[in-house]
A and B are shown apart, each in its own frame.
Chain A
Amino acid sequence: MDFKLSEREELLRKTVREFAEREIAPRMEAMEETGEFPVDLLKKMGEIGILGVITPPEYGGVGLGNLARIIILEELGRVCPAIPMALQVHHMATHALSAFANEEQKRKYLPPLAKGETMGVVAVTEPSGGSDVAGMKTSARLEGDRYILNGRKCFITNAHASDIWVVIARTGEGGKGLSAFIVERGFPGAKLGRKENKVGLRGAITGELVFQNCEVPKANLLGHEGDGMNIAIRNIVETGRPGMASVALGILNAVLEQAVKFANERILYGKPISSLQMIQSHLADIYADLEISRLLVYRVGWMRDQNIRCDAESALAKQFSCEAAARSARKAIEIHGSYGILREYPVQRLLRDALVTIPAGGTAEVARLVMARQALSLVK
């Protein structure tokens, strides 16, 4: 075992941190205000390699792997969690394509996604719910050389900012009757629905994708008919949950920094409040949440890079770190006292951001189901 990051990983962290502090931090005010994603940053992030981090080099990416991706998302999240929220879904789209697309589809769609010329989404969730994949209603009917899609996808991150949609739709009955499609925003019948107004992660767009007799060329079927369920689940387990966990990990970094900074600056009874044991106890809890989350999330990245199955580990990392982020943000607000509820102080935003990470990519309850299944299988 080795817990030391390599020189490469340290350098990645450094360069992303610098980018985030210099380019993203000045944009946050506007993101909070409007909820809009700063699409003009995509190109720069593409040039650095942030968008193509898990895309193989032969398709325009840098192919640095999953641990690298986690470090990048963590660093971005430390400065502005909405950005890695959007990017992690973008990465999900690149993962779905790298893992399941045919050669022609990869050549066509991956390089622009890796370079930041296009933005991707994966659309699974419907008004009926996201985790009940088998209960999905959006339909895809083969007519000649094209599929006709009808239905509605909701809570889709990046919806209104995106160009390439990986959409799961029903081509037959039951769990085996789901298929995945690559839908371009410009296809006939592909429409944008409502845009949600979230309390946190403002700047990562959440909205609806609507399909009204949407015409998708047969060549845009991802994998085979019936692969939809597998694609959706592999995608969420291998990329979506570790991605959400990384966003939460980024938030935890920021929470600890803000809490310590305030505790050192705030003078009460003639001393900084960081010298008070009650405050120190809060700080210790936040520190523990950060460190445990980091171990859990990095482990998933490492397992993915070794090609080890990690369904339960991924669910655990997601559930623990997202809940830890919310829990720690609340503690940080308590350390701040009345200052904690002022808009000037970032801790209130961090709590709002953390709350949004909890249902995204599978609720804590769904994650616990996966973990329980694993627990039950350990002892016969």
Chain B
Amino acid sequence: MRIIVCVKPVPDPRHWNRMSLHPTLKVLVREGIPNVVNPLDRHALEEALRIRERYGGEVMILSMAPLFSLSILREALAMGADRAVLLSDKAFAGSDTLATSHILSEAVKRIGPFDLILCGNQTIDGWTGHVGPQLSEFLGIEGISFVKMIEGFHFEEDGTAKAIVRKKTEGGYVRIEARLPLLLSVVKEINTPRYVTFSGILEAERKEIQVMSASDLRIDPSQVGLAGSPTKMADLFMPEVKRRREVVQEKPEMASKLIFEKIRQRGLI
């Protein structure tokens, strides 16, 4: 089984409280905050490694990120992936999810045939969950999000294969049968990612990371980056977190009515 796992470096959520908003430039100041592999992408990688352990094959990491993210890919390799491709080009900067998915799809087409693409269901920074489904759309394959379990694969005599997966829904899950090639975006319930081992770190130092630029992918720069992104960020701001400090002294009946109303307003009833 040839599996591609999409990985995004994201600022370590443990340091988010150190991030601030530049007052005039309207950008996030994230100096000194280390990057980590997007948490859900590690679940995707773990699932890929388990599939490889059971069915054999190859696990490849695909990432679009600045060149300094090589160490993040090294970490994914240390977890056990076989090789990695880093898509890196100034022209890619500022890509929204649509442009990003387009770039990834061009890379997948050049990397060659695959059976499965696994993604984290969303990244912890942007939290859109778009790239998985959009990548499947650009590749003309089916994509399933919120996958919480891969039950198994059925291999037909004609060489095709089907996966049976569980997709998490609001009230439970649906069991889905889907033909390969297929893209699955996974949620954290799917597994517990393994720790990077020291021998894994040593092995990763000998694994290949291929870097590809926009011209390697024959991508028209006007289709990617800020120019190729239909969405623009108009504003960036910090939410008001000041406590409202509205304190009342009421009879129990009235008090509980008021509390009930507050809960309802938060959409929790």
Contact = CB atoms under 8 A, between A and B. Distances in A.
A2 interface: no
Nearest to A72: B198
Contact of B198 (A10, A18, A44, A49): A49
A68 B202 CA distance: 12
B71 interface: yes
B75 A11 contact: yes
A251 to B, nearest CB: 20
B205 A8 contact: yes
Interface in B188-208: 195-199, 201-202, 205
B187 interface: no
Interface string A22-60: 000000000000000000000010011110010000000
A7 B197 contact: no
Interface residues of B, number: 13
Given A47-B197, A48-B195, A49-B197, A62 B202 contact: yes
Most chain B CB neighbours (cut-off 10 Å) among A47, A48, A53: A48
- Interface residues of B: mostly helix, strand, loop or mixed? helix
Contact of A62 (B36, B75, B198, B205): B198
A73 to B, nearest CB: 14
Contact of B199 (A7, A14, A49): A49
A44 B194 CA distance: 10
Given A15-B201, A62-B202, A10 B195 contact: no
A7 B201 CA distance: 10
A7 B74 contact: yes
A48 B71 contact: no
B147 interface: no
A62 B78 contact: no
A327 B202 CA distance: 38
Contact of A12 (B36, B198, B205): B198
A64 interface: yes
A12 B195 contact: no
Nearest to B202: A62
Contacts of B196: 11, 14-15, 48
Interface in A189-227: none
B195 to A, nearest CB: 5
15 contacts: A7-B71, A11-B196, A11-B201, A14-B196, A15-B197, A18-B195, A44-B195, A47-B197, A48-B197, A49-B197, A49-B199, A53-B198, A62-B198, A62-B199, A68-B198
Interface of A: 7-8, 10-12, 14-15, 18-19, 44, 47-50, 53, 62, 64, 68
